[in-house]
Structure 1
């Protein structure tokens, strides 16, 4: 089963950029499809592979920050090839 996940990591501290950059680079290093925009990062692929990666990388990201939150949306389909029809 393929999924699409949208992630927004928000460290609640002054020095927030290094943790976000590290998190995104770790996601990029996977064999999954990863897209970024200024507000979020999307990961696309097999459910088990995506969730295994996210379990490890979210834990590491939280260990690198003092305080923070992570918004996550999960869609049960691979939306990587999505193009608007309007």
Structure 2
């Protein structure tokens, strides 16, 4: 089963947070089997349901451990919406 996940990360830390955001994205991009697309407002992850959800949750945990305070807004939808959007 495939999944599409849209994620927005809002660090609440006083420190420089751009490196944490890019680190989060780079870690997702490093996983074979996931397609990761970014834009100015969110990161979209497409791939196998179990791989994508477990990877995203592990990366969210790393950010929380590093920053202590960060808000994630996530949307999950079954299926590969990247391929559906490309056809339209």
Answer whether contact 2:63 2:70 (CA < 8 A) is retained. no
Q: How does 1:47-86 map to 2 (within 5 A)?
A: 47-81=49-83, 82-83=85-86, 85=88
Q: Deviations over 1:37-81 (max 9, x none)?
A: 011000001111111111211100111113110000001110112
Structure 1: runs of 5 or more not aligned: none
The alignment partner of 1:80 has SS state of helix
- For 1:8, the equivalent position in structure 2 comes to 8
Higher helix share: 2
The alignment partner of 1:13 has SS state of coil
**With structure 1 as the length reference, what TM-score do the two structures score?**
0.90
- Give the CA deviation at 1:84: 7.3
Aligned-residue CA RMSD (Å): 1.4
- Give the CA deviation at 1:8: 0.5
CA–CA distance in structure 2, aligned partners of residues 30 and 84 of structure 1: 25
- For 1:28, the equivalent position in structure 2 comes to 29
**With structure 2 as the length reference, what TM-score do the two structures score?**
0.88
CA–CA distance in structure 1, aligned partners of residues 78 and 47 of structure 2: 10
- Give the CA deviation at 1:7: 0.4
